[in-house]
Structure 1
């Protein structure tokens, strides 16, 4: 690994203050439309699902309402399955994979589960294609009480308001080339630390919970996704993004300690997906389908355990 501190904002070794964060925010530009690309697809599901607004981002409440899609005929005797996408708004297949699952597959699982889908947790991040929110806060490190991220706080409140335990949670993400070229460098600059260059894995992988790894669940997800796209190999040291693999295409993180989305509940079965959209081996649509395969692979596995 090489150390690199090249980032156009801030002073090397010093954390950003309000001035640097404002400078960063001024560089963010709207590049696509949440309303046109996401909300229209959510609205198209209203004849088959219960769609409700669970909040709005204060940056622009009318432009950034937050929606949850729930299966109809809620049955408290059934376990609940949660699917989240767009916690990092720039991770496109997380959003559109969640919507594709809702449109094409979710109803098939309502015999066994109450289905809850939050397809775009960070709509401002979706529009500017960024990992952070306007305060330079990463929502996916902010799932804790008194969160500094509106995106995380709204999602946690929605899940709490369900009034039930979550049995399975699939959180849909991507690892992109821009993680290395932009976002990790920005994080190091923001935090006043060194940036160590890392290899971006070429392929799909999952992140399990160090405290509750559920290896058979992870394997089921990997086996389902490999029918759609390739699985990421480890680097020469047997790691993926700096963490040792526990089996093909699987690493573990301490989810609650890191305040990650997949640690927001005490679900028995949890996995975080990581699609690689920059590979020349896949199309955007295949990335979306891979996310659907991850969700169905997880749910099919859990059904066998019920």
Structure 2
């Protein structure tokens, strides 16, 4: 595929997908790893230390995926609440495994100061099939909106609405991968009937903030903590990351409410989306997971 104008093999160029093209895409998806073994088993191992609840389930392609949330025990309404989400895009492995690693190694330490809520894997079908979309070709991280077309989003939104908590902060764990250019951006353009234009994939960690409430000192604190674990991405020759102008080294921002991104899920004062680069020759899977943990820890240290 051409780096900048890759043509996707499904559909007719210039024509948005209909149901036939979506069905053709879905038929090509296969299970590549186990949500039960790699995620649910790790959640089960945390039940003695934390409150684990099933908040819903997804039923896709004759498979059932129970959805879980992990919460600190001894909930105290006087303590600030912090939300951590992972696996909004199921293919972004360290978002899921980093959330679980944070719960396993760090969550208890901060439970005296915070009520913490962790959704480690919002999109388990995407995790198993290594996909950005759900089976309906819907991107969950553009679907945190009223009457969401993505079940993954609607179930989380419903749970949090019933929980009735005002969160102080929300950290959403993501990755930017080489497959964004080789697969997911070309697929998106084909679905929309548009011409694909890829961006430069940054080598390193960066953050995406809310352009309408950036909270730069908070973002800097997160980046500083992460820099102890892995390298921060430099801007490209146009002083951009993934096509967006940098606000500062390692930080870009978007109007997240307008785009329906996950960090618009609450009215939290402090929000950020992490972006780890797992394809870097300078990073390992373990380093990527620990960079996600460091991002959450950096946020909590700032808020203490």
- Normalized against structure 1, the TM-score is what? 0.97
How many residue pairs were aligned? 303
> 1:149-172 CA deviation, whole Å, 9 max, x = no partner?
000111111111211101100000
Range that drifts further, 57-66 or 128-137: 57-66
After superposition, where does 1:10-159 map in structure 2 within 5 Å?
10-59=11-60, 63-159=64-160
Give the 3-state SS of the residue equivalent to 1:196 in structure 2.
Answer: coil
Distance apart, 1:3 and its partner CA: 4.9
After superposition, where does 1:151-190 map in structure 2 within 5 Å?
151-190=152-191
Q: Is the 8 A contact 1:208 1:272 kept in 2?
A: yes
Q: Which runs of 5+ in 2 are unaligned?
A: none
- Normalized against structure 2, the TM-score is what? 0.98
Q: Is the 8 A contact 2:4 2:199 kept in 1?
A: no
CA distance in structure 2 between the aligned counterparts of 1:299 and 1:253, rounded to whole angstroms = 23
CA distance in structure 1 between the aligned counterparts of 2:104 and 2:170, rounded to whole angstroms = 18
Distance apart, 1:79 and its partner CA: 1.2
- Confirm whether residue 213 of structure 1 aligns to residue 211 of structure 2: no
Distance apart, 1:197 and its partner CA: 2.2
> 1:284-304 CA deviation, whole Å, 9 max, x = no partner?
00100000000000111011x
> 1:271-291 CA deviation, whole Å, 9 max, x = no partner?
000000000101100100000
Aligned partner of 2:226 in structure 1 is: 225
CA distance in structure 1 between the aligned counterparts of 2:172 and 2:38, rounded to whole angstroms = 20
Q: Is the 8 A contact 1:86 1:94 kept in 2?
A: yes
After superposition, where does 1:196-275 map in structure 2 within 5 Å?
196-275=197-276
Distance apart, 1:5 and its partner CA: 4.7
Aligned partner of 1:297 in structure 2 is: 298
Q: Is the 8 A contact 1:80 1:115 kept in 2?
A: yes
The structure-2 alpha-carbon separation of the partners of 1:247 and 1:185, relative to structure 1 and needing over 3 Å to count, comes to same
Distance apart, 1:112 and its partner CA: 1.3
Aligned partner of 1:9 in structure 2 is: 10
Aligned partner of 1:286 in structure 2 is: 287
The structure-2 alpha-carbon separation of the partners of 1:213 and 1:23, relative to structure 1 and needing over 3 Å to count, comes to same
Give the 3-state SS of the residue equivalent to 2:60 in structure 1.
Answer: coil
> 1:173-230 CA deviation, whole Å, 9 max, x = no partner?
0000000000000000000111112110000000010110010011011100011111
Distance apart, 1:58 and its partner CA: 2.5
Q: Which runs of 5+ in 1 are unaligned?
A: none
RMSD of aligned residue pairs (Cα, Å): 1.2
Q: Is the 8 A contact 1:84 1:119 kept in 2?
A: yes
